[in-house]
Amino acid sequence: MVDVRENWRVALLVVFILIAGFALLSPTLAADDGAAGSDVAATSSVTNLQYGLELSGGTRVRAPLVGVTAEDVSFGADSTRAVEQAVADELENAGPADVIARTGVPAGQQSSAQAQSETTSTVEVTAENVTTDELAAALDATGYATEETEVRDGVTDATRQEVVRILQNKINEAGLSGGTVQQVTTAQGENYVLVEVPNQDASSVRELVSERGTVVIEAYYPTGNGSYARDVVLQQEDFQSIGTAQEGRSGGAYVPVTVSESVAPEFQQSMVDTGLAQQGGTRCVYQQDRNNTEACLLLVVNGEVTNAFGMSPGLADTLRSGEWAQDPVFQLQTTNVSEAQDVAINLRAGALPAQLDFSQESGGTVSYISPSQGADFRINSLITGIIAVLAVSGTVFVRYSDVRIAAPMIVTALSEVVILLGFAAGIGYPLDLSVIAGFIAVIGTGVDDLIIIADEVMAEGEINSRRVFQSRFRKAFWVIGAAAATTIIAMSPLAILSLGDLQGFAIFTILGVVVGVLITRPAYGDILRSLTTVDR
Amino acid sequence: MVEFTVPEVDYTRYTNRQLAAIPLAVLVVALLIIAGWYVMTGSPVNQGIAFTGGTEVQVAIDGPQSAAEEQIRQAFSAEPETIRSVPAQNVYVITFQSEAGSVGAAGLERQAQDAGLDVRSVSSVSASFGSNTQVLALGGLGVAFLGMSVLVFAMFRVFVPSIAVVISAFSDIVIPLALMNVLGIELSLGTVAALLMLIGYSVDSDILLNNHILRRSGDFYESTYRAMRTGVTMTLTSITAMIVMTITATLFGIQLLAAIGTVLVFGLAADLMNTYLLNLSLLRWYKFKGVAR
């Protein structure tokens, strides 16, 4: 009765629904993010849909990085390390670890075309409470400032990327599966770091990401005239491998570490020089009486001394004899297992070059949805959507009291949602409430358009030829196309600007309108034609 | 075929002035409300925490409401700005203004957990991020409206019918905004989304009406009636769906969907009035007495 050539629009719609169905249900396309861990919600459901935090539960943290940056600085002949030290000395609130000097390619050594695009050297200070003025003054005092030097709030892109990488490591190391870290830029050009972790509450995520995570080992030793000196003997990057945190035999816990070969002899020497490796080792009473103790090793995490321990006689012997450097293993002693785990995570992930800024003025946001709330939202918004569709169906049936017009209308409108859901599943776009609002908008405009088509086509009674149908259909389409164009224009600013929470809404409304106008709504015209003109 | 009847209004009984008077009067009242709000509060609409900054905590508490509210007040060190209950779920939505030195989202979460409350969600927005969002939302709305206006003028290429569509759309957005103020609904990301949707919805029926009257042969009133039959069906269908959605979403405590639904119901109702009184009277004036053509 109907051949495919005449009903190609319907055929196209069926093809699209099948593809969408495949994307939605096929287990072969199920999310497999490998090491990063698939989204918790996605694995627990029968479809391939991924849910955003609003619908699955978890924490989202968005914050800028603490820091001020000076661009177009000239280091002269100094190394970056010397620059960092010199600038830090001029600043009251910052140590050398808070200053990052980066050399761009010196303009003179480049061909002139490239020199324009290359950035010159920068100095960043990532300590809290350092203002742009203070940094500018420090640069003037050290003589690194040039005519072009500009000091601004914020950090460089290289630092942000490093933060993102380290935070991702930290989240993976802490075993929070499905957590993601990314850099986002607002329309005003402000940069934020966005952290999303499923199934974790806000305080634990914040604790994890807000620590700088610096771990250093310092030697604390008497200098002979009654006072003590503190020297950094091992830094984060001096470790070659980091073992798993273990419980010690006599209480406490430790992390077994291997010092990298290049640093080992130096460390060995400093142990001997500071007296830590003296005959019989040292007994450390730093915690009880720091002014009256033998030499100690201090474990300093985030700038605070978390533990102090002496040297065992055996280890002291191998250090003195120089054997230790052949097999440079060592145990970082901590007071308890959770501290040992923290140290291990921080050592493996690395220290953050800059901290996330959670202060009120910073422009950060924190949100947490409990997993039960997410599950409730998922089911309830589905129910809400179904009820809304039923309401639409009811109205349409009452209005036309003709199943041949109304039933295909509902089916067509729903097929738009199926196609969009398939699209979301196919590209792995996480569904959240704003996307669901987009679906509702699509059903709304979709049914409106179908009503226009139906009324136009059915107007003035009988349709007795294909030509009459075509001309009426085309007239209806003018209105639909015009309305679709305005909707797309109205939504496009939100789709492009990353207003975060409304972007999904805008993207899916536009997609829905495009799919509707190009695929589903023309198909409805064909269905209507075959139902109203053929059996005549 | 039996249809539910879209009543055929006898427009010939009313002058253009009479027809336009009602929607214009409503528009003026709406603008006055918004202006008054601006004078009194310094902001044209009530802004939610997404724009002003602040923290919202949702907790589930069994038991009578007054006891629950007492429990909530005791749990937090900061004074809640508002406490709302979500019917049917024993969930309470508590908002806090952002203030310098306040405990912040993680702190509030911990306080709630320490007090043994079942925390359903916490969200916090800092003031400066909120004001960025505000600029972006208003800018987005402005650009969307402007884009729509340009497109409408490009499509019809005649001034009066085009401006009629634009004025209707403007009024469709302003009236719900005024109603939001009166009913104490805050501007949130959801309501901004709804206002954007309104641009699309309102233009739908206006374009339909213009198209029928300007581009089709036939009597003015006949074209009007045909456009109305389709247009009113469209709008009523949407209103029904949105009323139902608002009610269910409110019961379930899905604020975003409830906010979208409420604003759309207002806007669509305003659209019915604006399209078939304001837009129609302008079109009739243009068609019969308008500029020499």
Cβ pair B123:A365 closer than 8 A: yes
Same domain, yes or no: B179 and B283 = yes
Residue A487 in any domain: the answer is yes
Q: Which tokens hold the place of A374?
A: 């997410």
A384 lies in some domain: yes
- B209 and B76, same structural domain? no
8-state DSSP, A243: -
Q: What is the dihedral of CA A145, A150, A156, A159, to 10 degrees?
A: 30
Sign of CA dihedral B100, B102, B103, B106: negative
Contact call for A444 and B207, based on CB within 8 A = no
Strand partners, B133: none
Rounded to an integer, what distance in angstroms lies between the CA atom of residue A457 and that of residue A480?
Answer: 13
B122 strand-pairing partners: A368, B57
Residues 153-192 of B with CB under 8 A from A: 155, 189-190, 192
Which band of pLDDT confidence, cut at 50, 70 and 90, is reported for residue A463? low
Instruction: For residues B181 and B230, state if they share a domain.
Output: yes
Q: What is the pTM of this model?
A: 0.76
- CB-CB under 8 Å, B132 with A360: no
Report chain A's terminal Cα–Cα distance, integer Å.
13
Judge if A175 and A265 occupy the same domain.
Answer: no
Range of weakest confidence among A64-68, A327-331, B99-103: B99-103
Residues A123 and A168 in one domain: no
Residue A430 has what DSSP assignment? P
Please check whether residue B144 lies inside any domain of the structure: yes
Most confident among A35-49, A289-303, A331-345, B159-173 (mean pLDDT): B159-173
- Mean pLDDT on A113-126: 62
Taking the Cβ of residue B104 and every Cβ of chain A, the question of whether any pair is shorter than 8 Å is answered with yes
Number of domains in chain A: 4
**pLDDT confidence of residue A104:** 67
For residues A284 and B128, which has the higher predicted lDDT (pLDDT)? A284
* pLDDT of amino acid A500: 62
For residues A389 and A411, membership in a common domain is answered with yes
pLDDT category of residue A227 using cuts at 50, 70 and 90: confident
Q: State yes or no: pLDDT of A358 exceeds 80.
A: no
Q: Are residues A390 and A483 in the same domain?
A: yes
Q: How far is A173 from chain B (nearest CA, A)?
A: 22
Among chain A residues, the shortest Cα distance to B101 is held by: A360
Structural domain span for residue B85: 54-125
Residues B70 and B180 in one domain: no
- Given a cut of 80, is residue A187 above it in pLDDT? no
pLDDT reading at A219 higher than 50: yes
CATH code of the domain covering residue B31: 1.20.1640.10
Same domain assignment for residues B95 and B168: no
Do residues B36 and B133 share a domain?
yes
Query: Do B198 and B138 belong to one domain?
Result: yes
Most confident of A15-19, A83-87, A192-196, B189-193: A15-19
Nearest to B164 by CA among B275, B255, B74: B275
pLDDT for res B103: 63
Residue A9 pLDDT > 50: yes
User: CA of B208 to nearest chain A CA: how many angstroms apart?
Assistant: 6
Q: Are A243 and A256 in contact (CB under 8 A)?
A: yes
Asked, for residue A53, whether it belongs to a domain, the answer is no
Q: Quick one: A465 and A380 in the same domain?
A: yes
Domain boundary among B94, B125, B156: B125
CB A377 within 8 A of CB A433: yes
* Rounded Cα distance, A161 and A92, in Å: 27
Stretch A68-94: mean pLDDT: 81
Q: Identify all chain A residues contacting B133, using CB atoms and an 8 Å cutoff.
A: 499
Read off the amino acid at residue A176.
L
Residue A424 covered by a domain: yes
Give this complex's ipTM: 0.83
The order of strands in the sheet holding A228-234 is A228-234, A215-222, A296-301, A304-309
pLDDT reading at A108 higher than 50: no
Phi, psi (rounded to 5 degrees) for A177: -75, 145
Distance CA A382, CA A376 (A): 10
* Residue B134 and residue B224 in one domain: yes
pLDDT of residue A499: 54
% of chain A at pLDDT higher than 70: 88
Work out the average pLDDT over A218-243.
82
Residues B84 and B213 in one domain: no
pLDDT category of residue A269 using cuts at 50, 70 and 90: confident
Amino acid B33: pLDDT: 93
Write down the pLDDT at residue A106: 46
State the average pLDDT over residues A153-162: 85
Q: What is the pLDDT of residues A430-441, one digit of tens each?
A: 888 888 888 888
Q: What's the one-letter identity of residue B53?
A: G
Of the pLDDT bands very low, low, confident and very high (cuts 50, 70, 90), residue A405 is confident
- AA letter at A129: N
Question: Do A392 and B230 count as a contact with CB atoms less than 8 A apart?
Answer: no
pLDDT at A80: 78
> Considering the domain boundaries, does residue A46 fall inside one?
no
DSSP notation for A459-511: TTS---SHHHHHHHHHHHHHHHHHHHHHHHHHHHHHHHTT-GGGHHHHHHHHH
Mean pLDDT of chain A: 79
| Number of CB atoms found within 10 A of residue A170's CB | 23
| Same-domain status, A440 and A486 | yes
Quick check: is B293 in a domain? no
Q: For residue A443, which residues of chain B lie inside 8 Å, CB to CB?
A: 241
Q: Which two tokens stand for residue A500?
A: 């975060």
Asked if residue B1 is part of any domain, the answer here is: no
Q: Which runs of E-coded beta strand occur in chain B? A: 54-60, 82-86, 91-97, 118-125
The secondary structure element, H or E, covering residue A354 is none
Verify whether the Cβ–Cβ distance A366 to B123 is below 8 Å. yes
B140 is a domain residue: yes
A240 within a domain of the structure (yes/no): yes
Q: Which of B204, B214, B263, B275 to mutate to test the interface with A (most CBs of A within 10 A)?
A: B204
> How confident is the model at residue B24, as a pLDDT?
94
Element (H, E) at B157: none
- Between B231 and A226, the more confident residue is B231
Of B3, B27, B5, the residue nearest B277 (C-alpha): B27
Q: What is the dihedral angle through the alpha carbons of B38, B42, B47, B50, rounded to the nearest 10 degrees? A: 140
The distance in angstroms from the start CA to the end CA of chain B is 41
The confidence score (pLDDT) of residue B99 equals 60
**Contact yes or no for B50 and A392 at CB 8 A:** no
In chain B, the number of structural domains is 2
The pLDDT value given to residue A510: 92
B6 belongs to a structural domain:
no
Picking from B126, B196, B241, the nearest residue to A363 by CB comes out as B126
A56 assigned to some structural domain: no
Question: Is the domain of A459 the same as that of A339?
Answer: no
B257 and B171 within one domain = yes
Of A32-36, A141-145, B96-100, least confident by mean pLDDT is: A32-36
Please check whether residues A375 and A521 belong to one and the same domain.
yes
Residues of chain B with pLDDT under 50: 1-2, 100-101, 292-293
A436 interfaces chain B, CB cutoff of 8 Å? yes
pLDDT of B266? 94
Residue that terminates a domain, selected from B100, B125, B150: B125
Q: Which residue has the tokens 């798993």?
A: A244
DSSP A272-331: HHTTTT-TT-----TTT-TTS---EEEEEETTEEEEEE---HHHHHHHHHT-GGGS-EEE
The residue type of B246 is: T
Give the per-residue pLDDT at A49.
81
Domain final residue, candidates B78, B107, B125: B125
Chain B environment of A388 (Cβ under 8 Å): 241-242, 244-245, 248
Quick one: A516 and A379 in the same domain? yes
Query: Considering CB atoms only, which of B123, B245, B254 is closest to A377?
Result: B254
Q: Are A345 and A374 within one domain?
A: no
Which amino acid type is present at position B193?
A
Closest CA to A528 of A460, A468, A457, A451: A457
Is residue A469 within 8 Å of A529, Cβ to Cβ? Answer: yes
Pick from B106, B152, B242: which is nearest to A366 by CB? Answer: B106
Q: Note down the domain range covering A184.
A: 159-211+355-366
Q: Are residues B159 and B117 part of one domain?
A: no
At B170 the pLDDT is 94
The answer, yes or no, to whether residue A249 has pLDDT greater than 80, is no
> Would you place residue A498 in the very low, low, confident or very high pLDDT band (cuts 50, 70, 90)?
low
Give residue-wise pLDDT tens across range A87-96.
888 888 777 7
Is residue A422, in this structure, part of any structural domain at all?
A: yes
Domain co-membership, A329 together with A473: no
Q: Are residues B35 and B108 in the same domain?
A: no
Residue type, B226: R
Burial B130-154 (b: 16+ CB within 10 A, else e): bebbbebbeebbebbbebbbebbbe
CA-wise closest residue to B279 among B231, B217, B222? B231
Are residues A500 and A408 both part of a single domain?
A: yes
Least confident segment among A278-287, A354-363, B156-165: A354-363
Query: Distance between CA A211 and CA A214 in Å, rounded?
Result: 8
- Give me the mean pLDDT over the A169-178 stretch: 79
Say what the pLDDT of residue A329 is. Answer: 84
| Whole-number pLDDT of residue A118 | 43
Residue A125 reports pLDDT greater than 50: yes
Answer yes or no: is B146 within a domain. Answer: yes
Instruction: Say if CB A353 and CB A84 are below 8 A apart.
Output: no
Q: Which of A339-348, A389-398, B18-27, B174-183 has the lowest mean pLDDT?
A: A339-348
Cα–Cα distance between A171 and A190 in angstroms, integer? 24
CATH number, domain with residue B96: 3.30.70.100
pLDDT value at position A36?
A: 36
The pLDDT of residue A300 is: 83
CB distance B196–A388 less than 8 Å? Answer: no
